[in-house]
Structure formats: structure tokens, C-alpha cells
Chains A and B, each alone.
Chain A
Amino acid sequence: MKPFFAALALAALPLQIAHAAGDDIAPRSAPWPAEVEAAMRELPVMSQGRVKPFMTQVQYLLLRLKEVRSLRLPDDDPKLGEVAGEKLSPTAWALDVLLHPAQAADYPVFRVTDSEELDWVDLSSIVKKRRDSYSWNELSPAYERIWEFRSEYMKIDPKRRSRLQNQIVDLAADMSEYAGLMHAFDVLRARFPADGSPALREVFGARAEVRFSDVLAVTPELLERYSAIVGGDSEVVPDGEHGAEAEAIGALLEHAFQGASSSGYLAFLPPPDPTVEEWLTLETALLTARDWSSEQRALVVSAVARAEALVDAAGAPEALAPAVHALSDEIRVQALARGEAEKVPLEVRYLRGDYFGKALIGFVLAFVLSAVLWLRPRNRWLALATAVATAVPTGFLVYGIVLRCVLRGRPPVSTLYETILFITACGVLVALIVEWIHRQRIALSLAAALGALGMFVAYRFELTDGQDTMPQLVAVLDTNFWLATHVTTVTVGYSAGLLAGFVAYVYLLGKLVGWRRAEPRTYQLLGRMVYGVLCFGLLFSTVGTILGGIWANYSWGRFWGWDPKENGALMIVLWELMILHGRMGGFWRDWGTALLAVLGNIVVAFSWWGVNLMGVGLHSYGFTAGLKQAVTIFYGAQLLVVGLGGLAWFLERRRIELRAQAVQRERAASTAVAEIAPEPGA
């Protein structure tokens, strides 16, 4: 078996994937029935080492290609025919790519951020706008060229590549992934001639053509017959009748293998051998078929046959729903028997629930309401509405985080994306507690603003990163104890540091615009809030940072290594300690604390994001560049607020001085008057 396929793999021609497959399939004219989409969404697949819903895999693919969560097809493209103007979910889009590849090849799903890219690969003729989306059919003529450039550019250190070079590297990767999905089911459409020799007729009965599942079912037998003729590991086919037999069997297997070799993108077959972890693609199924017992083989063959039925149903709408259900159910049953995919329906619920998207809208609404409430502070209904409007998105946020914990079986934070969710949730909750203590509606508005900002950052992050937000963890992070202790405490510390900075915003900007100037108690309270939240943050940052050292000592044998991430956490602690000690020493009071707390936002942002941008870059260039820009803007915004706060301080000092002078002058004037006033009775 091994030598035969090894020889085939070597002999295999370079894959012709630049064409779109399935030219003869009738285009889809009606939208996908809801039921079909629903069943397909929950089809378990393995990708990046994890069993997940089909929906997850294709949703992030679409995000990577086009940075969208659903695909709206243009109305005005005649090539699109009846689907023009349709809005497709990621699953519906992927169904099109799998089952109607020729039609889907006209969908504009490749986002090209700079048309210069296209000039570079000789595609100037198709350029529309500077930034636009293109279809597979538009780009594929340059597919090979794009890959040639990519191989050149990959030799360059990613940090030294030009923007254009990085974009082309990314485009090549995107196109190859798309091609992977497009060709994943090609071999299921194929028909292999099976009556070329007596041996084949014996194996397959009197059928003129067989499908991939038929070949898979008898692969061991075919290989045995082949080896019996050719003998052992030899590759020399003897002459004569026997030789013709061997050649016919060899040709059939070679066809099947060639066809399956483009199916690597979709690992949707649970391995029948319980000791094997990696799920099978059609290709690896064929390669390992001989290692299974006949019962095991029957399982895989049955799943493949259901996939073939689905492919066939592409042209017959009434057969679609039963076919997709049959496939999805079959795979799920097999996966469940292996103890996998139990959480697939829950993950689909999490994805479709889009709790963080809902939280974003809710927080924005709550912020607007709270702004109106400032104008009409006595309206009790409005106050109630604002409170509810803040509580609901907070609920979504917390629920989403809890669902993620259940899905991953991990504490809330183990990836950069999860830090955003968790830090936002903590910030909002702490703000709500502060509101509960002070009831000034300041912290309430802040909670809404912070929630909206955090959810927006999470949304953008997911969009730009385009990667599954529930990845497997590297070996060192695989410890729920330290994730639960160090990571959560240190992120609560980040959260409180930022919240203190944002409360300080209110203090400084409020002073600048003269808001509630007549109520010094408001500012006293704001000053106390900044101080209190800083203390809270200091507690968590300090304990979190030391816990990080203890983890490092426990895992690597050193408590402190001056690594950038460690230093970032230490810097937060030092900064907050400095603020508190300076305040204790009387070097600054509320004003200084507020100004320094806003600068503290820069320290937190540096520790949270800045150090990740140093040295080794994250994922892809576009992502890092975008992130760098966002972080720089954030730094700039803090400096601006500090500048404005400084101005406010200066103005207040001046006002106090002027008032003091005026009082003095008044006093002087009244004394003078008293002096020249004639003595009564004089």
C-alpha cells in the first residue's frame, strides 16, 4: 500500500487548481432553504487541531478573504444571474463554493486593499476602484504569477517586506484557501470507468462507472490484487494479461488519488480508528483505508457516500434537505461515538447569537440614553431605561464570555481576543459597582461608553485577525490553574487601570468645559473614584504580576526574566504605586492623580498591546500595521486629554488667582472707603 501511493504522490502532476470545477452543474436559482443551511452549519469538521462546526471554519475564511461576516452579492452584475443582490451567510456562501463552484467563482470575495497589487501581477485590465473586491474568475488568470511572487517574497523577513509584498503574500494564501474549499468535493463528482478489466468487473459487478466511495470501499482488495500481480514493493508491471489487469487497477487507484489530492481543505471524516486523532480528508481517507477493519471502513464509506449524495443533490433542490441532514447526522453520530463534537451545536448557538455584536449595539444605545439623561436628570423613566439599557448588553457580554468558557473548558482569558472581552466586562462591572456606591450617573455613562468601546475593539479585532477565536493552546498555556489565577488577575488590573483613566477623563474634561462648576462635591467624588479604582487596580496588578512570576518560576525556573510582557505588567504596578505614593506625600491631589491616571492608560495600552507589537510580529502584516496604528492613535488621544486637562488646570488656577485678586481689591476698596468716610457724629 505505502509504496504504491508514495510512488503516486511523487508522480502526481502539479495540481491544476486554477480552474473552477463543476462547470456542468446548473447554477443555483433559489436561496438555500433555511433547513439546509441549519444542517450544514452544524456539520462537524476538524480544522487547526480542533473539532468545530463547519460554520466556524467558513465564517473565518470569509472574514480573512473579505473582512465581512456575510456576503451581499452585487445587484448589477449580469454574471450572477438570479442570485444577484442576495445576502449570503458564510454557510450559504460556502455551500455555493462547494456545490456550485462555477457559479460561486463569480462572487466578489477577494478584498484587494490597493489596486497596485493587481498592476503588479499584470491584472490592470480588471481594476475597478483602488480598494475593491474581486472574484475568483477575475483573479485566477494571475494565480500562478501571484504564487511565483509569493515564493520570492517569502524569502524576505516579514518585517522587511514592503506593504505591497505583504499584500501579495496574503492574497496568494487567500486564493489557495479558497481553491481548497472550491475543490474539496471535486472527487465526489467524479465517475471512474470500472469495466476496463475482468478483475475490476469482478470487484464492482457489472457497473460501467463507479464513484469515489465505491473505490474507497474496495481499496484494500484492489491493492491486494495489484500486489499479487506486481509482487511486493516492486513497481515493475509484468507484460501480458496479468500486466493489463494490474495496469487497470493501478489506473483506477491513480485517478481516485489524483482526484482526492485536492480535497485537503475539508477534514470532515472522523477517523474510524479511535486511537487516531486527526480527522480525515477524502485524500487521507484513501491513503489510510487499508489500515482499517471492514467495519471501520464501512463507517467512512457510508459518510463519503452521503457526501456524494449531497453533491448530486446540488442539481435537484427537493433532494437537498434530506441529503444534507443525512451527511450532517452521520458525521455527528460518528464523532459523538468518539467523544467529540458534543459542543458543536452550542458553538453554533454562540456564533449565531452574536452576543458581542448585540452588546455593542446595546452599549451604544445605553450611552445615547445616558447622554439624554444628563439633559433631563429628573426624568425617572429615562433613568430606569438607561439602567436597563446598560444592564442588558452587560448581560449579553457576560453570557457570551460564559458560553466561551463552557465551549473551551477554560477560564475566561487565554487569548488576546479574550483579554478584550474580559477587560471590557470587568471595566463595565466595576463601573456599575462604583455607580451603585455613588449614584451620580457618571459611572453609569462610563460603563456604557466603556462597553461600547470594548465591544467595538473586539469586533474590529476579530474582523482584522480573521482567525478562529477559539484556537488550541500551545503546551505552556495548557494549565487552567495559572490561566484562572495569573491571567485573570492581571487582566482585571488592566481593566481597572483603564477605568481609572476614563474616570479621570470626566474629571479633566468636565473641569475644562465648566461642567457642574458650582458643585465641588461632584469633583471630590470623581477624584475619589479615580483614587479608588486605582487602588483596586493596583491590588490586582501587583498580585497578578507576582503570580505571573510564580508561574514562570514554576514552569521555566525563573521568577523574573525582564521579558517585555513581564516588564509591561511591572510598569503598570510602578506607575500606580508612584501615583499613590506621590498623593500620600502631598505632591499632588485630585488634579495630579487625574492627569497621571490618564497617562496610565498609555502604560496599560503599552503593556496590553504595545509589547506584542515589538519584536516578533503577530499573524500577518496587515493586522500588525493596523494594530500599530490603532495603538498609536490611542496613545495620542491620551496625550491630547492630558494636554486639555493641563489647560483646564491652568485656567482654574488663573480663575482662582483672579478671584483672589478681585477679593483683595474689593477689600482694599472697602478699607479705603472706610478711611475717608467721616466719623459718624463728627
Chain B
Amino acid sequence: MKLVRTLIRAFGSYALSASLLFLMFVVTLLGTLAQEHMGLYRAQATYFDSWFFEAVEIDGPLGIYMPGGMTLMVTLAANLFIGGMLRVRWTKARLGVLVTHVGIAILLVAGYVKQVWAHEGSLALYEGESSDEFQSYHDWEILIEERQGPGARHFTIHQRNFTDARPGRSAHLAHAELPFELEVERFLPNTRALPKGPMFDVDVPVVDGYFLQERPLDKEHERNVAGVYVSVTAAGSEPAHGILWGRERAPMTVEAGGRRFGITLRRQRFPLPFGIRLDEFTHEFHPGTTMAREYMSDVTVFDGPVPQKVKIRMNEPLRREGLVAFQSSYGPEDARPGERMYSVFAIVRNPSDQWPLYACIVIAIGMLMHFGRKLFRHVRSEVRTA
């Protein structure tokens, strides 16, 4: 019991708050500076989405580690809850502080909900094209499609199932309804599929004259194109080797148990709860300049019996069924007037979409109460002294 009390006291202390805030400051600074050389996505993964990171690298297995954003956020949440809401004296003078802390707690919870339950990705459509799914920016999946037959269906395998695959630690993937086993032998986050010429050797397998050339990770993470080496083993036959590459459109075909399958590696797809068609994309420049004044997509949304015409533009996204579609970019960049354009939408499904707004209002009210009260009393005492 004494231990619990000590723990509660420690977790609710000002010393912990000040230290955590300082550490968060340092981590934010490091993560900001690191973006210059490692790009945003990797800096975020290293500093902010991590539990610990190596702050000072030393040759060899050791290093000096610092708590990452996750550790700090979770500890801060505990500190906020225990120190800022439970242990704080519930007096009139403290009401503002309490309200502020509740606001910050809403913000932290919103962040957690987003981290766990939100999906985000993009959807690119040429004028006249329509779609009812969007794709992830970063995550890949293997798609196994049955090509024919009355029971034709498809299976997807998320990247997390094979992201660590490497020689000696391949990932075995099987499904009761599939007549074969898929083995991912190696996953490469950024690659190019190249024909193997006679003049050079490579240290990766060559399949049908092609190999995957590993490339350094791009700073812009969505530019990385993944690739995997796979082998497919059907009962009673030799394994068939293959390469799946993110840019390859034609699937690897497999016949097993009298059924035909196509296997591809693609960015993870999410279904849209409605269909969307790009009717027209327009962009305007400030006269005589190349500076965009506005870009805008006229789309038709198929949701229910009557299709609806909607405009999506900068600062005016489409919000529907818990999903938001934003005007993100367009192309081709050097399009001539009249050329067929495409428009790219960022698509987000975030259950805590509006929570930061509520948090902001609560925090503002709390701070105004607290600081306003202090200022009022201070001014009153100053006036009295004068």
C-alpha cells in the first residue's frame, strides 16, 4: 500500500511534469532537426512514434538511449491524470487548472484514438474515372486473386505479416481455403526490379532473369517502392519462385489444385463507403504567375440512389460517413489546356476527427479562467497598493 502511495505521489509530482515537459521539448527539437537529413517519415518513426531511441550513437552494440515520444506521452498522460486531475485540490482557485487538464487529456485521447483506429491514404483519379477504394501511403499488402470459377475470391496479407522476412527467417503464409502455401523469403522496403545482365553479379536471387535491386530509403517515404521474393508451394509439387514488385502491374500466376491465382504486391487498399467519380479538375493561377490560386475537383458521389455533384477544393474537403476527402495534388504538372488531368485526394477516416476542436475550446476556457482570475486579483492588489 505504501508502495502504491509512493508511486502515486511520484507519478503525480510537479518534478515529473517539469522533467517530462523538458524531455518532450528535447525530443521535439531533435526530431525536428533530424528531418533535414532523414526526412519526415523516418524522423517521426525514430523520435515520436518510438518508445526509445538512440540519442548518441557509439560504435558497437551500446549507445545512449532516450525515451521516445510514445514513452513520454504515456507517462505524461499518467502524470496529467494523477497529478493534474486526481491529486489536485478541487477548490475554486484550481478550477481553471482542472478544466485545462481535462482539455489536454481530451487531446491526448484523440491522438491515441487516431493512432490506433484511423486510416489514411490517397486516391488518384483521372477525369472520368471512378473508384470505391483508396490506398495507403506507406503500407503494402499481398493480394491473392482467384482468377476464375464460380467461387472466385481474393485474399489480402498485410505487410506486418512479412515485413521482417529475410533469408533464414522467411514468413510462411497459409490459408485453409488456399491450395498452396506462400513463403515470403525477403522483404525490401525500397527496390527496383531490374533485368540481370551477363556483365555483373548480384547478391540476391535472380528469378526469370530479373532481380530486386535494393535502394536506400527515400526521404519522402511514399516514394519508396517495396518488393518481395516469394515462393509458392502447392501440395506435392516443387516450390515456384517469384518476385513481386510494387510497380509491377502484371500478377505472378500460380496454378494449384486445378485453380488459377494471380499474386501481386500493392499498396494497402481500404474500401470507401461510397463511390466517387472525378468529373472535372480545374486549377487557377494568379494572373501572369505560376502560383496556384486555387485548385478544385468536381466529383460525383454515388451514395444511395441519387448521385450527387460535389466540389472538393483547398480548405473545403468532402466529409461523409466519417470519412474526409481532401484536395491534395494534381497532374500532369505540365498539362496543356484541354489535356486530361488527374486529381489526387487525401482520404482520412479518423473517429477522433473533431475532438481537438473540443479540446481546444476546453483548454482555452480553462486557461482563461485560471489566468484571468490571477490577473484580476493581481491588478486589484496593485491598484490597492497604488
Using a CB–CB distance below 8 Å, which chain A residues touch chain B? 46-50, 267, 277-279, 437-439, 472, 474-476, 478-479, 482, 528, 532, 535-536, 538-539, 542-543, 546-547, 549-550, 553-564, 567-568, 570-571, 574-575, 577-578, 581-582, 584-587, 603, 611, 614-615
Contacts and interface: CB of A to CB of B under 8 A. Distances in A.
B324 A557 contact: yes
B22 A546 contact: no
B360 A279 contact: no
A581 B359 CA distance: 20
Given A278-B287, A543-B363, A554-B315, A475 B17 contact: no
Contact of B368 (A539, A556, A560, A564): A539
Prevailing SS type, chain A contact patch: helix
Listed from nearest, the 4 A-B pairs whose CB atoms lie closest are A585-B14, A49-B286, A557-B348, A578-B21
B13 A578 contact: no
Contact of B289 (A49, A542, A567): A49
A146 to B, nearest CB: 24
A160 B363 CA distance: 45
A582 B22 CA distance: 10
A549 B40 contact: no
Interface string B273-298: 00000000000011111011111000
B40 A532 contact: no
Interface string B311-336: 00011010000001010100000000
B291 A581 contact: no
Given A557-B347, A561-B40, A49 B120 contact: no
A532 B375 contact: yes
B382 A437 contact: yes
A559 B292 CA distance: 24
A575 B291 contact: no
B346 interface: yes
Given A475-B294, A476-B314, A577-B21, 5 more contacts: A49-B291, A475-B314, A568-B32, A582-B18, A615-B36
19 contacts: A49-B293, A267-B288, A437-B378, A542-B363, A542-B364, A546-B359, A549-B356, A550-B360, A557-B346, A562-B31, A562-B48, A570-B28, A571-B25, A574-B21, A574-B25, A577-B21, A581-B17, A585-B15, A587-B14
Contact of B35 (A46, A558, A564): A564
Given A546-B363, A577-B21, A587 B35 contact: no
A564 B33 CA distance: 8
Given A49-B286, A581-B18, A553 B29 contact: no
Interface string B16-30: 011001101100110
B378 A532 contact: yes
Decide if the interface of chain B is mainly helix, strand, loop or mixed: helix
Interface stretch (B107-115, B146-154, B194-202): B107-115
Contact of A587 (B15, B32, B324): B15
Chain B: interface size category: 35 or more
B367 interface: yes
B21 A535 contact: no
B374 interface: yes
Given A550-B356, A567-B32, A587-B15, A472 B364 contact: no
B375 A48 contact: no
A574 B17 contact: no
Contacts of B356: 546, 549-550, 553, 559
A479 B293 CA distance: 11
Given A556-B328, A578-B18, A474 B378 contact: no
Given A543-B363, A574-B24, A574-B28, A437 B285 contact: no
Nearest to A578: B21
A584 B14 contact: yes
Contacts of A561: 40
Contacts of A570: 28
B93 interface: no
Contacts of A267: 288
Contact of B286 (A472, A482, A568, A581): A472
B379 interface: yes
B155 interface: no
A585 B17 contact: yes
B326 A550 contact: no
B256 interface: no
Interface string B349-365: 01001001101100110
Contacts of B22: 574, 578
A241 B20 CA distance: 92
A614 B314 CA distance: 26
Contact of B364 (A532, A543, A585): A543
B35 A614 contact: yes
A585 B13 contact: yes
B371 A539 contact: yes
**Most chain B beta carbons < 10 A, residue from A475, A476, A536:** A475
B99 interface: no
Nearest to B44: A562
Contacts of B250: none
Contact of B293 (A437, A472, A536): A472
Contact of A49 (B28, B287, B378): B287
Q: Which of B21, B32, B43, B346 has the most CB of A within 10 A?
A: B32
B15 A556 contact: no
Interface in B43-88: 43-44, 48
B386 interface: yes
Contacts of A586: 14
A593 to B, nearest CB: 12
A476 B382 CA distance: 46
A76 to B, nearest CB: 42
Contacts of B295: 475
A191 to B, nearest CB: 30
Nearest to A536: B371
Contacts of B14: 581-582, 584-587
B363 A614 contact: no
A562 B30 CA distance: 12
B314 A558 contact: no
B176 to A, nearest CB: 38
Given A49-B287, A557-B326, A558-B120, A615 B35 contact: yes
A242 to B, nearest CB: 36
Nearest to A586: B14
Contacts of B36: 614-615
Contacts of A474: 291-292
Contacts of A549: 356
A43 B43 CA distance: 51
